[in-house]
Every structure is written in C-alpha cells, then in structure tokens.
Amino acid sequence: MEAANLVVVGRIAKAHGITGELAVDVRTDSPERRFALGATVLARLRDKTERTLTVAAAREHSGRLLLRFGEVPDRTAAEGLRGALLLGDTADLPPIDDPDEFYDHELEGLAAELGDGTRVGTVREVSHGAAGEMLVIDRADGGELLVPFVQALVPVVDVPGGRVVLDPPEGLIE
C-alpha cells in the first residue's frame, strides 16, 4: 500500500478480553468490506511504526467493532496496539454515485476560498462528530477554522478544480 493512497478506516481503542480481541472505533462507511474475514489493513502504531494485520474475526459489541487479527494471539499483543490507526487503500473504496457525497480524502488538501476568490486556507481534514461533519481548515494567516460541512455554508465542492467555496455568515471567519 502506498502512503499517498491510505485513509484511516478505524482506530484501535483498547484490548477486549484475554484472547487478543480489539475494540475498534470505525471510521469508514463500509466496515463490512474493510473488516471482512481475510481483509488486510495497515496498523500505524503510536510510535509511527507500521505493520500489516489480517482480519480473522469481526463482531459488533456496544457500539464498537470487535476485531481479531491473525497476527495478534493474546491480550498482551493486543495491548501493544492500543491507539493504533487502521489504514486502508483508497483503491478499495466503492465508487460514489451521489454527486453531493465525498470521501474525506477527496476533500483534504482542497483550497478553501470565498465566492469572490479570496483564499481562506486549505482543508486539513474532515471532523466527524455527533452534530455532523466539520471542515477543519488551516487558515492562510496561520490559524484554524472550523466550518460545518453543510450546503448553506459550503455551496461549491469542486474536487477536480481543487477547491471548496465558502459562504460563511458574518463573524465565522473573522
């Protein structure tokens, strides 16, 4: 897997039980594909080392996905993976048919500008929360801006053109 083609599909929260199971916070719309039996993911550990893991079992439990990987035989090995990001290849993503839907990685790096072309900054990431998605923008002046990713505030998403157009209410950008 090339680093440029990797996206976060989950984060290991903690070990679960004594047999090497891991509780995973899912960060993908298609966990049934990403974490299917035999699927591989790249785990980026907290120390930035990486290792490939193969899904041996998967089940839901209390709002999280419990995964067992063939390379993780017990709780001790599982504890060493706490906090690791699970990465998948963008080439494995299914195509999106809805023109108003986007994968996070398609938005990251886009220029953020106002309707008149004034550059505001660059989209660093898409933050997912209970209230919805937010664009996290690194401002051109060095600050950070959070913009709710809704049609009223982000009326134009031009992935091929490399930009999003913002229509912020007064006070959002200042």
Q: What pLDDT is attached to residue 95?
A: 76
- Does 162 have pLDDT greater than 80? yes
For CATH 2.40.30.60, the residue range(s) in the chain are 3-91
CATH 2.30.30.240 fits 104-166, yes or no: yes
For the segment 138-151, what is each residue's pLDDT rounded down to a tens digit?
998 889 999 999 99
Q: 3-91: which CATH architecture? A: Beta Barrel (2.40)
- Which of 72-76, 126-130, 132-136, 147-151 comes out lowest in average pLDDT? 126-130
**Per-residue confidence at 4, pLDDT binned at 50, 70, 90?**
low
Q: Which two tokens stand for residue 66?
A: 């419990």
**Residues in contact with 79: Cβ distance below 8 Å, sequence separation at least 6, in sequence order:** 15
In the chain, what is the greatest distance between 2 CA atoms, to the nearest angstrom? Answer: 58
Q: Where are the beta strands (DSSP E) in 21-118?
A: 21-26, 40-44, 50-61, 64-69, 85-89, 111-114
pLDDT at 93: 74
Instruction: Please tell me the predicted confidence (pLDDT) of residue 2.
Output: 52
Positions of CATH 2.30.30.240 in the chain:
104-166
Residue 160 burial (C-beta neighbours within 10 Å; 0-12, 13-18, 19+): exposed
